[in-house]
Structure 1
Amino acid sequence: MTADLIFSKAGKMVRFVERVNRFMMICEEDDGSELSVHLADSGRLKELLMPGAELFIEEADNPARKTRYTALMVKHETRWVGINSTIPNKLVRQSLLEKKVPGLPGWSMLKAEYALGRERFDFLLEKDGVKMILEVKGVSLLENGIALFPDAVTARGARHVRHLTELSRQGRAAGIYFVIQRDDAIAFAPNRLRDPIFSEAINEALESGLKVWAHSCLLMPDKILWQSPVPFISAMGTQNV
């Protein structure tokens, strides 16, 4: 089984104790000692971060950082779910370099962190002389088999969608790729309950012709594998992305 993204840093298993704030939590090791762990995900994650839940964490690049470890994923029932917002971007970047992003055959990366006006997008791609701006979003929330984004209000996300929608209306190629950091989603939908503004922006984007992809992943403590394309459910009905 070939990995699409490998975690090369030292990591270990711990148990969740409590969330201190948006970006820090307390975890417990097997010997009962506690340690502070950085959480690179501003979502609520209440359905996943339950007392005693098993987490996989890795050492930070900077040994002098206040929190020595960063959380990568949490075990929910029998499967791992990603809770690190930087991982989807890294997965797409690595797959672009190898030209094997599902749904994007032949597209290559011209630039990461592409600046356009006052906005910055994840990637500028190219294929057969055509350039496309691509924004990547990570998804961890699941309700009744439906993967939902966002897990919390994201004004920045809605702004990005509207900007990409305007570019699409101008005839420029643009898209959003939702990386579902779990393998049990049967469909994907914008989370209208948590963020109606973002959901409305996505529906308007689809009407404008903005390209949208949603794809699930299989996570393991040492690697991530692309899994399956997931149907997109919106106010316009089910879209096969």
Structure 2
Amino acid sequence: MKVPSQLIPGRLLRRYKRFMADVELGDGTMVTAHCPNSGSMLGCAVPGSLVLLSRSGNPARKFPYTWELVQADGCWVGINTALPNRLVREGIEQGIVAELQGYELIRQEVCYGSERSRIDLLLEGPGLCYVEVKNVTLIDGDVARFPDSVTERGQKHLRELMAMVESGARSVNLFVVQRADARTVAPADAIDPAYGRLLRRAVEAGVELLAYQARVTPEEIVLSHSLPISL
């Protein structure tokens, strides 16, 4: 996926109220950017970090800038949680995600489940495959970990996937690692032990786990290859 416009460099001053970040641009101008990430962004929101922003041409937007990338531990990290669904769909259509080939139709944000959820991707024909996509930015050595904060929403999604397996459908939880320095993926048990326990229960119940690493540059972000998952 090509980056839609030339990104604007700056230095992170602070991230606050979860969805806002103050950034100093190269000319010394301070702007407030939208932060499209609801997690803690542990290790990715250090003041002084080099960041890249996109700018919307929509005059109605209160904050025209959006924080897209941050340089952390020597590599670019994609922090925009709106992108992984598009990356996975693109990866399926281009044959990169080998495990999800052979379906005739891909639908996005489809309502499902007893807890009134929306599945990120629903693959149809033959059969149904529910795909929940999770963005991973937290690194621990060379292990990418999810989540970076307690996620009741993530636990709900696992319960919904388990219910779909019980109903006879295929369910997949797919981690997208938007950084190049990870060699494997694992649950962040120290941050959210309940999520880790439920993830292991989900696997026992038949939910499939996949992890794919994205190649992140200021010009493009694309799925590159699968990563092993350690439980």
TM-score range with shorter-chain normalisation? over 0.9
Which string of whole-angstrom CA distances, capped at 9 and with x for unpartnered residues, describes residues 182-240 of structure 1? 11111111111111221111100110111110111110012013223111111xxxxxx
| Separation in 2, partners of 1:6, 1:108 | 25
Partners of 1:49 and 1:102 in 2: CA distance: 33
**Same amino acid, percent of matched pairs:** 33
Query: What's the counterpart of residue 198 of structure 2?
Result: 201
Aligned to 1:163: 160
In structure 2, distance between residues paired with 1:61 and 1:41: 21
- Which TM-score applies when normalising by structure 1? 0.89
The alpha carbon displacement at 1:9 in A equals: 2.6
Aligned to 2:122: 124
- Which of 175, 178, 187 is the equivalent residue of 2:175? 178
Say which of 217, 223, 226 aligns to 1:226.
Answer: 223
TM-score under structure 2 normalisation? 0.93
Greater CA deviation, 129-138 or 56-65?
56-65
**Cα contact 2:91–2:223 (8 A) shared by 1:** no
Is structure 2 residue 139 aligned with structure 1 residue 111?
no
Bigger CA drift: 139-148 or 76-85? 76-85
Please show how residues 17-96 of structure 1 align to structure 2 within 5 Å. Answer: 17-60=13-56, 62-96=58-92
Alignment correspondent of 2:184: 187
Q: Give deviations 1:6-49, integer Å, cap 9, x for gaps.
A: 11234211110111220001000111110001111111123122
Bigger mean CA offset, 158-167 vs 95-104:
95-104
Q: Which runs of 5+ in 2 are unaligned?
A: none
Encode CA deviations 1:56-108: one digit per residue, 9 max, x unaligned. 11113633211111111101132101111111112112233444334323335
1:133 Cα deviation (Å)? 0.8
RMSD value over aligned CA atoms? 1.6
Tell me which moved more, 57-66 or 102-111: 102-111
The answer to whether the Cα contact below 8 Å between 1:96 and 1:107 also exists between their aligned partners in 2 is: no
Return the alpha-carbon distance in structure 2 between the equivalents of residues 110 and 79 of structure 1: 32
Normalized per residue, the structure richer in strand is 1
- Counterpart selection for 2:133 from 133, 136, 142: 136
Tell me, in whole angstroms, the C-alpha distance in 2 between the residues paired with 1:154 and 1:108.
32
Which range is displaced more, 222-231 or 179-188? Answer: 222-231
Aligned partners of 1:56 and 1:73 also within 8 Å = yes
**Does 1:150 pair with 2:147?**
yes
Distance 2:204 2:50 in 1: 41
